Amino acid sequence: MTLSHALSRVLDAIDIETFFLCGSADEARKMALSLLLGLGFSDADVVSVEMNGPGARVRARTYVHRPGARYAWLAGTDGGDVA
Amino acid sequence: MILLVPLDPVHDVGLKMIKRALEEAGHDTVLLPPDMTPSEIIARAEKIRPSHILVSRTLGYQAEEVLARLADLADAAGIRERTRMIIGGMAVRPELAQELGFDAGFGPGTSPSEVVAFIEGRPAPSEQCEEVRSKKDLTAGYTYRFKDESVGKLAEELADELLLWAGERTSPAVERAEIRHAALMEGRSVGEDYLALCDEVVRAAYRTGTPPKKTRHLTSDEQRHLRTLGKRQYGASRPRSHAGLVLFVQYGTGCPFMDVAHIKAAVAWGADGVVHFDPSWGARTEGLLEGWLTHEEDGSVITPENLRAIREGLEPWVLWQVRAHRGLNTPETVVLAGHSGADLTKINIAYGSLGGGTDPERLAVDGVAAMRWAARFSMPFDIVTNEELSGVPAGKAFASMLVMAALAKKVGARPILQPLFCKSPEVMIGGYMSDNYVDFNAAKVLVLRDILDAPVWPGAPVGFLTQTEDRVQSSLTTGLHACLAGFLGADAVTIASSDEAYSGGPITAAARTDTLTAVQAAARFFGRCAITLTAEAERFRRLIYAQICDALTEAQKAPSFVQAIYDGVFGSREDGAHPGRNGRGTVRMK
């Protein structure tokens, strides 16, 4: 199982959720985006961030396949195990 | 004989459930006590000589080592040659079973029926639709009788006046609907007579083959793949979430492919019905397009081909709603929906005028025609009241909804009342939800039930302005709102995804499964319990009822129902509602 195979089977987006030890929601937002960018995803956004106490719970998202694009997973619809 | 082995110090509940399922299926079983060593287990297996050994392991600690030891001993004793060995439990993943050489591995979430099916060599029930479902008629059993005669009299009289008024008028959309119907009946495309009634962008798309901005035609390969995808049937893996309550989700990613994929995921996760969302520009444009079109932004383009492709992708028991409520193509959308096999549509003249941007006069003519088409196709429609989100008080929105219901009944259609469960501007300003989100929403259903014997379908979706971008909060509040609909005896409910409050991109399939999971968990938690409303609910019920009566009385004083909309009777500029301008000046006398 390769990374490209796994990515091709992502229906639309990948969300990453974590809890950052940090000083502000803005810092958490920047770290979440840098995490996704560092993993090689350019289409990154922060869906939610909430700062309380020692850190922030954050969910960041990258769209692998946006509506209207040409989907890698379509190739599997003839006999694969997707969708 | 099947030997059941809890390879764990204490945990054997899962195996006891499987034992019961196996015995109900006619299998003989022996359940060993917990906390036996691998050597002791093998000794018992040599004595019993079972056909299968089911081993469970809950504790993650040293799970792999203990299971490997058991496998080695079974090999050494020759048990593997005559016995199938299966592992399962919280500490087990299918990959672990494969790695250690077991015949199968069942992880967390496995149902006893799946294990029984495996032992009997049958497909897993989750792949063959455990629950036989059928489409529910949401309007069955309702008489549409006004139980409140004074309100009914006002609503009926306003409906009569509107029918007469609309009967003398026509619009480009009314005429396009007739042309579209004839074309679909004859299996052909529309012609120049149709294009003469359209905006330039639509005319250009037909004449040059160039679709509007941010849309493109699907390639023939993509069309083939879409058909293949649509034909894959998965059944309903999850049980119904709430007894009797039909659960709808919305889709409209922009792309028919993505829509079909999302629909199949949502249905597998417990949705009973789906609602088609079209692009907002479609409502402001005269004329509908043709062809297989995908759209880069929210809302899936309504074309005969797109609707058919989506229809082919639906499980046969899934209810399908195509909305027609707010724009310049209302009657034609109903025609297309009817020809495409939709089960339901959505029409409301007041909402489309006050919250959807369409000129009241235009939408009144179109809305009446759309209701007549809905009656011809025997397609019920909900009367949505989302103008509350603009600031219109619930009672004013309900007043026009009741006129629409009376009108629908007169043309032989079957309307469904759709109160919005939301934290609306009226609620925020009035402090009506300072204690809870239940009383005011409940009062809406109670007052409607008192007035008219008609189905009620809270939406759309429930929980507006209560969800945040946090998916746990969003899913939980959605689940609770859905359960509230169930508590109140609603016939259906439309829920959002956990992306409801996120505006940075398209809704994801995972976000849809979030709220479906939440609804199921909440419904499971409450079961058939009831809730107790506070005394505030009765105060809210009286408030809404008074608003309804005032609005209907005021509307009767206006020269016409349509003028009453312009005059703000069903939602004023002070409330936050503004009569739409799209299509203004396009109505003409017949």
Give the per-residue SS3 of B94-157. HHHHHHHCCCEEECCCCCHHHHHHHHCCCCCHHHCCCCCCCCCCCCCCCCCCECCHHHHHHHHH
Half-sphere exposure (Cβ direction) of B19: Cα atoms closer than 13 Å: 16
The structure tokens 């083959």 sit at B209
ipTM: 0.91
Per-position DSSP letters for chain A, written without gaps between them: --HHHHHHT-SSEEEEEEEEE-S-HHHHHHHHHHHHHHTT--SEEEEEEEEETTEEEEEEEEESS-TTS--GGGGGGGTSS--
For residue B589, the cross-strand partners are B169
Among candidates B214, B216, B261 on the partner chain, residue whose Cβ is nearest the Cβ of A83: B261
Q: Residue A67 has what DSSP assignment?
A: T
Rounded CA gap, B334 and A64, in Å? 35
Rounded CA gap, A28 and A22, in Å? 7
Rounded CA gap, B261 and A77, in Å? 10
| DSSP-derived pairing of the beta strands B169-170 and B588-589 | antiparallel
Q: Choosing among B213, B224, B228, which should be mutated to test the A contact, i.e. which has the most A CBs within 10 A?
A: B228
Assess contact for B423 and B572: CB atoms under 8 A. Answer: no
Phi-psi map region of B553: left, alpha, beta (phi>0 left; psi -120 to 50 alpha): alpha
pLDDT at B239: 60
Q: Residue B367 has what DSSP assignment?
A: H
pLDDT at A83: 35
The two three-digit tokens of residue B262, written as one number: 């999302």
pLDDT at B545: 98
Assess contact for B376 and B338: CB atoms under 8 A. Answer: yes
Contacting residues of B for A74, CB less than 8 Å apart:
222, 225, 229, 257
b/e per residue A34-58 (b: at least 16 CB within 10 A):
ebbeeeebeebbbbbbebeeebbbb
pLDDT at B242: 60
pLDDT at B131: 53
The strand ranges marked E within B355-458 are 381-384, 415-418, 420-422
Are A12 and B258 within 8 A, CB to CB? yes
Residues 6+ apart with CB under 8 A from B398: B385, B419, B444, B447, B448, B544, B547, B548
Are B294 and A78 within 8 A, CB to CB? no
> Three-class SS of residue B445?
helix
Contacting residues of A for B468, CB less than 8 Å apart:
48
pLDDT in tens, A7-18: 889 999 999 999
- For residue A80, the chain B residue with the least C-alpha distance is B229
Cis peptide before B461 (omega within 30 of 0): yes
The structure tokens 């007052």 sit at B447
What is the enclosing helix (H) or strand (E) of B70? helix B63-76
| DSSP-derived pairing of the beta strands B246-251 and B492-495 | parallel
Cβ burial of B590 (10 Å; 0-12, 13-18, 19+) is exposed
0.90 cut: is pTM over it?
A: no
What is the enclosing helix (H) or strand (E) of B217? strand B215-217
pLDDT at B238: 61
The two three-digit tokens of residue B26, written as one number: 């006619």
Assess contact for B590 and B170: CB atoms under 8 A. Answer: yes
pLDDT at B129: 44
b/e per residue B405-438 (b: at least 16 CB within 10 A):
bbbbbbbebbbbbbbbbbbbbbbeeeebbeeebb
pLDDT above 50 (res A82): no
- Residue A81: which pLDDT band, with cuts at 50, 70 and 90? very low
The strand ranges marked E within B308-447 are 319-323, 344-346, 381-384, 415-418, 420-422
For B145, other C-beta atoms within 10 Å of its C-beta total: 11
The CA distance from B439 to the nearest CA of chain A, in Å, is 29
Q: How far is CA B242 from the centre of its chain?
A: 13
Residue B354 — φ and ψ, nearest 5°?
-95, -25
Are B228 and A78 within 8 A, CB to CB? yes
Assess contact for B380 and B413: CB atoms under 8 A. Answer: yes
Query: What Rg value do the Cα atoms of chain A yield, rounded?
Result: 15
Among candidates B232, B470, B502 on the partner chain, residue whose Cβ is nearest the Cβ of A50: B470
Cβ burial of A2 (10 Å; 0-12, 13-18, 19+) is exposed
> Three-class SS of residue B21?
helix
Rounded CA gap, B570 and B550, in Å? 10
The two three-digit tokens of residue B483, written as one number: 């359960």
- For residue A70, the chain B residue with the least C-alpha distance is B222
Q: How far is CA A78 from the centre of its chain?
A: 27
The strand ranges marked E within B481-569 are 492-495
Are A68 and B296 within 8 A, CB to CB? yes
Are B257 and A11 within 8 A, CB to CB? no
pLDDT along chain B (590 residues), means of 10: 85 82 87 87 90 85 84 88 87 80 83 85 61 82 97 98 98 98 96 96 94 89 83 67 81 90 92 93 92 88 94 92 93 97 96 93 98 98 94 97 98 97 95 97 98 95 94 97 95 96 93 95 90 97 98 98 97 94 96
The CA distance from B255 to the nearest CA of chain A, in Å, is 5
The CA distance from A29 to the nearest CA of chain B, in Å, is 14
What is the enclosing helix (H) or strand (E) of A16? strand A13-21
Are B505 and A48 within 8 A, CB to CB? no
> Three-class SS of residue B49?
coil
pLDDT above 60 (res A80): no
The CA distance from A27 to the nearest CA of chain B, in Å, is 18
Q: Choosing among B263, B300, B469, which should be mutated to test the A contact, i.e. which has the most A CBs within 10 A?
A: B469
Among candidates A13, A68, A70 on the partner chain, residue whose Cβ is nearest the Cβ of B295: A68
Tell which residue, B527, B458, B522, has the closest CA to residue B496.
B458
